[in-house]
Amino acid sequence: AEIAPGAVHVPDWLDVERQRELVVACREWARSPAGLRSARLPSGGVMSVRTVCLGWHWYPYRYSRTVDDGDGSPVTPFPDWLGDLGRRALADAYGRAAEDYRPDVALVNFYDADARMGMHQDRDERSREPVVSLSLGDSCVFRFGNAENRNKPWTDVELCSGDLFVFGGPSRLAYHGVPKTFPGTGPEIGMAAGRLNITLRVSGMD
Ligand code: MD5
Ligand code: FE
């Protein structure tokens, strides 16, 4: 379903077996040297969501090749197979060829029962190529806003395990957030609890 121009929701895009494989991969990435951590905001706050970065390390509000807000570990590489998955996602969501889509960053967000993501824009990438989002585990309320400010109008969409969302074109810079998850709603895919979201992005850097 096209929620807004360039914002396409494809429910149930990943079958359960593929979801299980992604959970296994996320667990391995979380254990790598530049693994799961809560980003610290310049305001002094700490994000309730915990994140693993692949390809480039993100911290508010920039990208680096090493964990510059931590122990300086090199960032975990972005695997080729994840780029292939991103091209298939874009092709299915937009119904057009996507061989030229070359994501080089993945941010894997883990939400426990209390984690939230406030309304924000994703504008730390130098490219405005689409963002591919894959959800695993517990369902959530995803709040898709407008490109002007973090306030209404917005549309609330329930995202479930296996759902794909692509944000491109005029929706690439829309404000968005996750005000709520629904603990205990995830399928049996090897996650004890919580929600995972994998976003694939083009950094526009080299
Ligand atoms: C999440 N993650 O569910 C969301 C899904 C993040 C983040 O917001 O920054 O890690 S990605 C949603 C997204 C990305 C790019 C553009 C737009 C939404 N959008 O225009 O609405 O953890
Ligand atoms: Fe975001």
Whole-number Å distance between alpha carbons of 160 and 11: 7
Ligand 1 pocket list (CB less than 6 A): 107, 109, 117, 122, 131, 133, 144, 167, 171-172, 174, 176, 178, 197, 199
Ligand 1: distance of its center to the CA of 188 in Å?
24
Below-70 pLDDT ranges, the chain: none
Q: What's the pLDDT score for residue 115?
A: 98
Tell me the DSSP string of the chain: -EEETTEEEETT-S-HHHHHHHHHHHHHHHHSTT--BPPBPTTS-B-SSEEEEESSEEETTEEESB-TTTT-PBPBP--HHHHHHHHHHHHHHHTS--TT----EEEEEEE-TT--EEEE----SS--PPEEEEEEESEEEEEE--SS-SSS--EEEEE-TT-EEEE-GGGTT--EEEEEEETT---SSS-SSSEEEEEEE-----
Tell the residue nearest (CA) to atom 5 of ligand 1.
Answer: 133
Do residues 201 and 102 make contact, with C-beta atoms less than 8 angstroms apart?
A: no
> What pLDDT does residue 27 have?
98
Burial (CB count within 10 angstroms: exposed 0-12, middle 13-18, buried 19+), residue 158: middle
pLDDT of residue 201: 99
Complex prediction ipTM: 0.98
Give 174 Cα–ligand 2 centroid separation in angstroms. Answer: 9
| pLDDT value of position 189 | 98
Which pLDDT score, from 0 to 100, does residue 200 have?
99
8, 10, 112, 131: residue to mutate for ligand 1 pocket, most atoms within 8 A of CB: 131
Spatial distance between the Cα atoms of 105 and 128, rounded to a whole number of angstroms: 13
Q: In the chain, what are the domains?
A: 2-201 (2.60.120.590)
What is the CA angle 134-202-85, rounded to 5?
40
- How many Å apart are CA 15 and CA 18, to the nearest integer? 5
